[in-house]
A = this chain, B = another copy of it.
């Protein structure tokens, strides 16, 4: 007998019919002899409605009150879910974040989990209850209700799985797993059987929207086996797990595309220690989120610094750069809008040579012009023209056979 945490997102519990379908998945697991903890999000558009209600009364609602308000959506789901399980003849009990002492810091709307009263849950599981926990929420040390930010229910589920030492954390969603790339762009994308935390983190930060990075980080830290799967079909989905030897053989696991990007280049910045730090802390102060940084020395005295950002931060970034460029001795600022970043991700990069060449070869063959390149240990990213982005992604996918399951690719 094991413990399984099952997380259902808002679309999977949007109405009575969908709650009953989710119940069925829970009941199957219980009937198979396992203890089950359910984490659920607010039903369908409930959170959107509450947000709209709030903005109608206050264009700048205080974060504490917003958390207090939004936390109710998840509480409604889990109490209704418990009622449905009871109606089916199963013992069930629902808890708010506060009731299981999901203690967080006080950073409202993006709080971080500090501890969970796992004993309270274990006690109820031992008494034969299915335990339901409202996702997305916690309380701080003073008893204020907090929320965990985007993807918060995923984080709740993975954190609970870690605290309970669960065998698996299942994330039920409207896709049937994680694909090598976005199937809306590259139709032949293959479903992955398995992906490492690090790869998933790179893909999450690069815009693959299936799971939020923070939940994956939690999973990595506490080694929680995360199973992303369909709430409708019964097929197996994708397992996010620690790195296993067979992953080494997979050169590239996935590819991503990020559109609506811009690049800002500072040409001829004084080449002295601390200048880059000064620039980026200034940008952080202006709340600009930096994607990638490319720095090259021109000579002993001057360097060029470029960085990519989302288009939504463009105006703030330009303003921030203009106000600091003289201090950095910068000769000229050069901006470029309408770019995209295409990336290949894989832990196999660590042990394989020639990946970059294969990628550039494919892009060049597809006549895609590469503006700049950045790499991490398990990622290569190319900045390209936005109107060439999809062609670029396709070329990368074909070059690394991302249209095939990993075990069917040529070695």
Q: Given A16-B53, A72-B72, decide whether A58 and B84 contact each other with a Cβ distance below 8 A.
A: yes
Shortest beta-carbon distance, A175 to chain B, in Å? 26
Q: How far is the CA of A76 from the CA of B76 in the complex (A)?
A: 12
Do residues A84 and B69 form an inter-chain contact, with CB atoms below 8 A? no
- Which residues of chain B are within 8 angstroms of A62 by Cβ–Cβ distance? 82-83, 86
Decide: A80 and B59 in contact? CB cutoff 8 A.
no
Partner of A75, one of B20, B66, B69, B99: B69
**Given contacts A84-B58, A87-B59, are A50 and B69 in contact (CB under 8 A)?**
no
Measured between beta carbons, the chain B residues less than 8 angstroms from A118 are: none
B57 touches A20 (CB 8 A): yes
* B83 and A76 contacting across the interface, CB-CB below 8 Å: no
Partner of A65, one of B54, B65, B86: B86
A209 on the interface (CB 8 Å rule)? no
Whether, in the assembled complex, A93 has its beta carbon less than 8 Å from a beta carbon of chain B, the answer is yes
Task: Report yes or no: A57 in contact with B16, Cβ–Cβ below 8 A.
Answer: yes
In the complex where A65-B94, A72-B76, A94-B68 touch, is A57 in contact with B87 (Cβ < 8 A)? yes
Main secondary structure of the interface of A (DSSP, over half): helix
Q: Hey, which chain B residues are within 8 Å of A58, CB to CB?
A: 83-84, 86-87
> Do residues B80 and A69 form an inter-chain contact, with CB atoms below 8 A?
yes
Q: Which of A56, A68, A94 has the most CB of B within 10 A?
A: A68
- The reply to whether B19 and A57 contact each other, CB–CB distance below 8 Å, is yes
Let me know if B76 and A75 touch, CB within 8 A.
no
User: What 5 A-B pairs come out closest when comparing CB atoms?
Assistant: A72-B72, A69-B79, A58-B87, A58-B83, A68-B79
Residues of A within 8 A of B (CB): 16, 19-20, 50, 53-54, 56-62, 64-66, 68-69, 71-73, 75-76, 78-80, 82-84, 86-87, 92-94, 96, 98-99, 143-145
A/B interface sample: 30 pairs, CB < 8 A: A16-B53, A16-B57, A19-B57, A20-B57, A53-B76, A58-B84, A58-B86, A61-B86, A62-B82, A64-B93, A65-B79, A65-B80, A65-B83, A66-B79, A66-B83, A68-B75, A68-B78, A68-B79, A68-B82, A68-B94, A68-B96, A69-B75, A69-B79, A69-B80, A72-B72, A72-B75, A72-B76, A96-B145, A99-B143, A99-B144
